[in-house]
Structure 1
Amino acid sequence: MMEGLPADVAEALAAVLNADDPVHAALRKQVPHLSVRARCTCGCGTAYFNLDTSKAQPAPTGPGTVVAAEAQLVTEAGECPGEVLLFTQGGYLSWLEVCSWSDDIHVTLAAARRWLQAGS
């Protein structure tokens, strides 16, 4: 389903897009037509997407930019250092953002994947 994406991005998308949610299910159908256009240069792992909209239907997220999925990150110690947000624009996947809530912990997509998998 996510063969064309880097492993870290594919795993994060799989973790935040719940197959039981109708909006998330519609977004999952876009993933085969998705590629990473750019990555944040700070090392956090945020990824900006290109999507072939001629091959994908928009999800019912509403117009404009919307946070279509989010996952709070919880460490093994029970701390919440940040979150992963998945943005859409006009119903199409747009970017995956990795957010740190503190300057004390630098959250990366690699760490987020580990915490997301532990919480599953």
Structure 2
Amino acid sequence: MNESLPADVADALAAVLSADNPVHVALRRQVPRLTVRARCTCGCGTAYFELDTSKVDPAPTGPGTVVAAEAQLVTEAGECPGEVLVFTRDGYLSWLEVCSWNDDIEVTLAAARHWLHTRS
């Protein structure tokens, strides 16, 4: 299914990788070379990436698969229905996961983007 990086995924990555620490800076440099290999079929918005690692440097995340960035989602009512996680494998972006903690509030990538942009 390889497709260029959709705007919703790029926007979520930008919001979650906004810190100026060395890991986020290095991962932001990888974003222009990312493509989406697959997306979760449940509708949550989780995206799995493909990246030509010969074209970018790894982020200093360490070996293996790690959560390199995370953002807790908070609604306008102050509820915490889930989070967005950015996973790397050996320092390279691997996937963006949208997690739901609450069956009463639908957590999708669109909702996550809204909550990420309205947090203080």
> What root-mean-square deviation, in Å, do the aligned CA atoms of Structure 1 and Structure 2 show?
0.9
Partners of 2:6 and 2:90 in 1: CA distance = 24
Partners of 1:103 and 1:114 in 2: CA distance = 19
Partners of 1:19 and 1:105 in 2: CA distance = 27
Partners of 1:76 and 1:46 in 2: CA distance = 23
Q: Following TM superposition, by how much is the alpha carbon of 1:18 offset from its aligned partner in structure 2, in angstroms?
A: 2.1
Runs of 4+ in 1 over 3 A off after TM superposition: none
Q: TM-score, normalised by structure 1?
A: 0.94
Q: Following TM superposition, by how much is the alpha carbon of 1:19 offset from its aligned partner in structure 2, in angstroms?
A: 4.3
Instruction: Specify the alignment match of 1:24 in structure 2.
Output: 24
Instruction: Specify the alignment match of 2:51 in structure 1.
Output: 51
Partners of 1:95 and 1:84 in 2: CA distance = 11
Indicate yes or no: 2:52 matched with 1:77. Answer: no
Amino acid paired to 1:59 = A
Q: Percent of pairs identical after alignment?
A: 83
Q: Give CA-to-partner distance per residue, 1:28-84, whole Å, 9 cap, x none.
A: 111111000000000000000000101011100010000000000000111000000
Instruction: For residue 78 of structure 2, give the secondary structure of its aligned residue in structure 1.
Output: coil
Number of residue equivalences? 117
Partners of 1:115 and 1:39 in 2: CA distance = 21
Gaps of 5+ in 1: none
Amino acid paired to 2:102 = S
Gaps of 5+ in 2: none
